[in-house]
Amino acid sequence: MTNKINRRAFLRNTLATSAGIILLPTIIPASAIGKNGHVAANDRIVMGFIGVGSQGTGNMKGFLRNPEVQVVSVCDVDKENRDRATGIVGAAYDNKDCSEHKDFREFLAKEKLDTVGIALPDHWHGIIYSAAANAGLDVYAEKPLCRTIDDGKEIVKAVEKNNIIWQTGSQQRSGSEFFRAVQLVRNGIIGDVNYVEVGLPNGGKDILAPASAPIPEGLDWDMWLGPAPKVPFQGVYHWNWRWIMDYSGGQLTDWAGHHIDIALWGTDLEHTGPVEIEGKGYYPRKGIYNTPIEYDIMNTFANGLKMRIANNRKLKHGGGATFYGTEGWINVDRGRLIASDEKLLSAEIPENGYKPYRSRNHHVNFTDCVKSREETIVPAQTGLRAISVALLGEIAMLTERKIKWDPEKMEIIGDDKASRLLKRPYRKPWKI
């Protein structure tokens, strides 16, 4: 065992045997701080990254700025991404120590890591998120948690079994406007909330089916597809995978981990789900993009609350989450917090009122929790609840049926055909 693993074990054991005592200041003793003011190498959180495209690289850069983190390895099926990422790490540390892997299995087996950051097309989440958890690593994983609800259940199972720290990349929770909106709504400033609207972007194009194209040099296309159905390469992979249902549910699932997540947080429904879901979706018809470009979904929760999810343009207050209470409304979107009456926004919160989890930086919240062994602001279970709402909406739209859902068992009630869509069969030989 390496020092790093020992340190992790130390962190866990220390906290487990001294419940309630805050040991944080002793974890990185002053003596371990280097003379330059940086955390000494042996005490840094050793981190690797799987998936270093645009989002993965963005996350990696965030963690590189944290002196408590040491990035040692990257993994990607595309050589271009690997080369770019190792170059960024090398420039940050002024060395060439960052290793690279094409296959996540080799990466997880060979690298001695504390934590891993993962940012992949959604169809890979089930397998790789579970594998990282089962390797005992703490995980910072991009939203949405999963492509299917079955995948999500497996991920949560692996997280719980291994007792790891998990942060879902729903970083709006660490934004002050969202914190404030939730603080106001949860403390009854707009009265009882019985209706919420969630406005998401359109997506929206229909590229005609491109002819099959040569696979770019350095890309392992079969590995990129992984568990998804084998198809010829038609030029769609980085970024634009999100418009193809084999890999993503489009804007609806892409944004579920943001605005739906905030809507659930603000209504105290983040540990449950709707009981009834209806929706209408419109899809591109001609080309290979096939995720909905117009959607309108109505969720009913057991407490009677209704949550509508639709394109921005269809809603009065546009994007973000709008909470409608008996005494006013509040809309929150990125960089925007508005209300039926501006005075509501400066309302005093009672001393003994509800205090939402406060995180000021999503990446730092993760590393803080890696050290403290406390729960992050968006653990896997919460990530699953947010994406489940979108995935159930997707099923309601694809079947044009009213879906009845048991949020405790996480099962569709009385509809065999809709229930099939809770999973996407994996291509052989992949399995979780």
Partner 1 sequence: MKQKNILQFIAIAVFSIVLFSSCNSTKEKIINVENARIKALIVNGQMNKSHDDKQSSPILEKILELTGEFNVEIATTPPQGSDMSNFKPQFSNYDVVILDYVGDDWPEETKTNFVNYVQDGGGVVVFHAADNAFPDWKEYNEIIGLGGWKGRNEKNGPYVYWENGEIVRNDTIGRGGKHGKQTPVLIETRNPDHPIMKGLPTAWIHAKDELYGDLRGPANNIDILATGFSNPETNGTGKNEPALFTIKYGKGRTFHTVLGHVNGKGPHVAVECAGFITTFQRGVEWAATGKVTLPVPAEFPNAASWILWKNFQPLSLEDLVEAIKDYNLDDSREHISALSLRIRNSDQKPETLEMYEKVMIEIIESNATNDAKNLICRELSIWGSELSVPALEKLKSNKDCGEMADYALQRIQG
- List residues near partner 1 by CB under 8 A: 202, 204-206, 208-212, 229-230, 232, 234, 282-290, 293-294, 311, 313-314, 398-401, 417, 420-421, 423, 425, 427-428
Of 126, 134, 129, 136, the closest CA to residue 46 belongs to 136
Pairing of strands 99-101, 115-118: unpaired
The least CB distance from residue 398 to partner 1, in Å, is 7
DSSP character for 258? I
- Measured from the CB atom, the residue of 28 and 398 that comes closer to partner 1 is 398
The answer, yes or no, to whether the previous bond of 144 is cis (omega within 30 of 0) is yes
- Measured from the CB atom, the residue of 205 and 271 that comes closer to partner 1 is 205
Cα–Cα distance for residue pair 162/136, rounded to 1 Å: 6
Q: Is 316 exposed, middle or buried (0-12, 13-18, 19+ CB in 10 A)?
A: exposed
| 350 token code pair | 């009672």
Phi, psi dihedral angles at 56 (to 5 degrees): -60, -40
The least CB distance from residue 253 to partner 1, in Å, is 17
Cα–Cα distance for residue pair 225/405, rounded to 1 Å: 30
The least CB distance from residue 286 to partner 1, in Å, is 4
Cα–Cα distance for residue pair 134/164, rounded to 1 Å: 9
- Measured from the CB atom, the residue of 29 and 425 that comes closer to partner 1 is 425
The least CB distance from residue 94 to partner 1, in Å, is 47
Pairing of strands 328-333, 336-339: antiparallel
Phi, psi dihedral angles at 380 (to 5 degrees): -55, -40
The least CB distance from residue 389 to partner 1, in Å, is 21
- Measured from the CB atom, the residue of 195 and 283 that comes closer to partner 1 is 283
- Measured from the CB atom, the residue of 67 and 425 that comes closer to partner 1 is 425
- Measured from the CB atom, the residue of 10 and 282 that comes closer to partner 1 is 282
CB atoms within 10 A of CB 173: 26
Q: What is the CA 110 to chain-centroid distance, rounded?
A: 26
The least CB distance from residue 211 to partner 1, in Å, is 4
Of 105, 143, 102, the closest CA to residue 125 belongs to 143
- Measured from the CB atom, the residue of 232 and 350 that comes closer to partner 1 is 232
The least CB distance from residue 405 to partner 1, in Å, is 18
